Amino acid sequence: MTSKPQNLLLALITLFITFQTQAQKKFTVTLKPEPLALPNRLFYIDSVVDARAVKDNIGMAQVGMNNRQVDASFDKPFDVALLTYFKQMTPKQTSQQRIIAVMNELRIGERTYKMKERGTADVEITFCRLDSGRLRAVGTYSDMQESGGMDVTAAHDRRLATALNTCITKFNASDWPNNPGTLYEAAAEWNSTDNAHNIVRSMVRNAGIYEKFTQLRSNSPVSQNAIPIIQRLEGDLFLIRDKATEKKLREPFGVSDGTSVFINTFFYNVNSGKGVFARVTEEGRYMAWFDHYMTATEKGLWAGGFGAIGTAAASEDLDLIVLDLKTGVIRPVKLYTVDELFKDDPELLAKFQQDRNKRDPAVMLSYVKMYNASHPF
């Protein structure tokens, strides 16, 4: 039986987590120029085209004491922030050619391990000339930066600047002036009319490994038809291994066997074992499933308050967890998160708030299903 002091500590921990969760709903990145040597530079960048698959944010960051996932964005509109940066890094000079930067990918993220954190920045740019009103690509370059530390969130701007500069440097070192170029075509991506590249609507779900969220959303696994080895552990949790090496898959965002979608528990549960994936049971704008949601801070609070017994108690009940296909953010469905989840459906939100059984995860799932049915994606 739990003592009164333990009950009080439990209430304080729950209140603290709730307060921290509500404290910050967005993370802002300010791009700062980094020193960059571009010998014999023959170009300047004066325009930006946003060709990203996900335009609602630039990824996610983990904020607050409980490392809650929130949308990340620039401090200015996307194209304005990048154009300001490019003009600082490649100022126009006499006899230089105009180049347009088409942003195929720009996304930041964080990975939390049991004993460390890693921050990432993923960038892909197609550099184009303007030819009779049409874009002609003369080079596509990508870079991924990753670094660790005690607070990787604070370094997102540096990683992003390094990735951008690496792409610019690669382009500058190429033979682009002698490249006639090819007409630019945007890569296949998710949209509301292209069902083949919509993980929810596609008639044929491509089996394989999704290294990134954007690949999952667009039904475009990086290793198409390379169906991994999928072994059930318990409930809707599965151990997934690479088919060729039989090694546990550690960091892909998700996988598909051609029917179901599996999300890597690594992205939302610091207690998760390597290669453990959760099977999605509800599909739509919100992909939903049941599992334990636990950040490193929550784990520390529970362990500090109750020791090993407290950590076990915190993991006793399954949470309803959702992946927002619009933003890529994974979060638990809780009383303190539904305002954000259902903010564009006031009627459903009001109905949920008045439901006497709203704390029941099964009831929460029924509302997620109602939302998905009313907001096809």
Q: Which of 39-43, 207-211, 361-365 has the least mean pLDDT?
A: 207-211
Burial class (CB in 10 A: 0-12, 13-18, 19+), 213: buried
With 60 as the cut, is the pLDDT of residue 298 above it?
A: no
150-163 confidence digits (pLDDT tens): 778 888 999 999 99
What pLDDT does 145 receive? 95
92-110 confidence digits (pLDDT tens): 999 999 999 999 999 998 8
Rounded mean pLDDT, 337-361:
94
Yes or no: say if 368 and 351 are a contact pair by the CB < 8 Å rule. no
Sheet arrangement for strand 261-264? 208-210, 254-256, 261-264, 276-279, 237-241, 229-234
With 60 as the cut, is the pLDDT of residue 12 above it?
A: no
Yes or no: say if 143 and 167 are a contact pair by the CB < 8 Å rule. yes
Exposure on the CB side of residue 177, measured as CA atoms within 13 A: 10
First and final CA of the chain: distance in angstroms?
A: 46
With 90 as the cut, is the pLDDT of residue 167 above it?
A: yes
pLDDT band at residue 306 using 50, 70 and 90 as cut-offs: very low
Break the chain into its structural domains and give their ranges.
Answer: 25-183, 195-374
What pLDDT does 6 receive? 52
- Token pair of 120, please? 């990432």
Looking at CATH, the fold of the domain delimited by 25-183 is given as Rossmann fold (3.40.50)
- Most confidently predicted of 20-29, 64-73, 271-280: 271-280
More confident site: 47 or 25: 47
Mean pLDDT of the chain: 84
What pLDDT does 251 receive? 82
With 60 as the cut, is the pLDDT of residue 120 above it?
A: yes
Prediction pTM value: 0.73
More confident site: 110 or 315: 110
With 80 as the cut, is the pLDDT of residue 293 above it?
A: yes
Q: Which alpha helices (H) appear in 235-283, and where do they start and end?
A: none
